Amino acid sequence: MQKAIIYCRVSSDRQVKEGDGLGSQEQRCRKYAENINYKIIKVFRDEGKSGGLFERPAMKELLYFLDKNERINPKEKIVVIFDDPDLFI
């Protein structure tokens, strides 16, 4: 079974307080993973974070996680799932 991680992000504090953007993003990603038989091993969530790629705490953790995994087990590949390509940039 292919392993996967999920990355979710909302850019404003208002979205964090008034909406369920993170929850709905994660739910859609989990549904997608389930449909293609991927095993979710970790979820990274940035709440109220916009800006550059490396300014987001959860994105930093995600990149560190992938790098660490690559060094420990270079043959094991992990897929990153996110709800919308704009969340990654």
CATH number at residue 12: 3.40.50.1390
Whole-structure pTM value: 0.81
The helix or strand, by DSSP H or E, that contains position 40, with its residue range, turns out to be strand 38-47
> What pLDDT score does 48 carry?
72
> What pLDDT score does 44 carry?
95
Which domain, by its residues, includes 81?
A: 2-88
> What pLDDT score does 34 carry?
97
Bridge partners (DSSP) of residue 82 are 7
> What pLDDT score does 75 carry?
92
The total of structural domains in the chain comes to 1
- Separation of CA 30 from chain center: 11
In order along its 89 residues, the chain shows pLDDT tens digits of 899 999 988 876 555 455 567 888 899 999 999 999 999 999 999 887 666 666 789 989 999 999 999 999 999 999 999 887 665 55
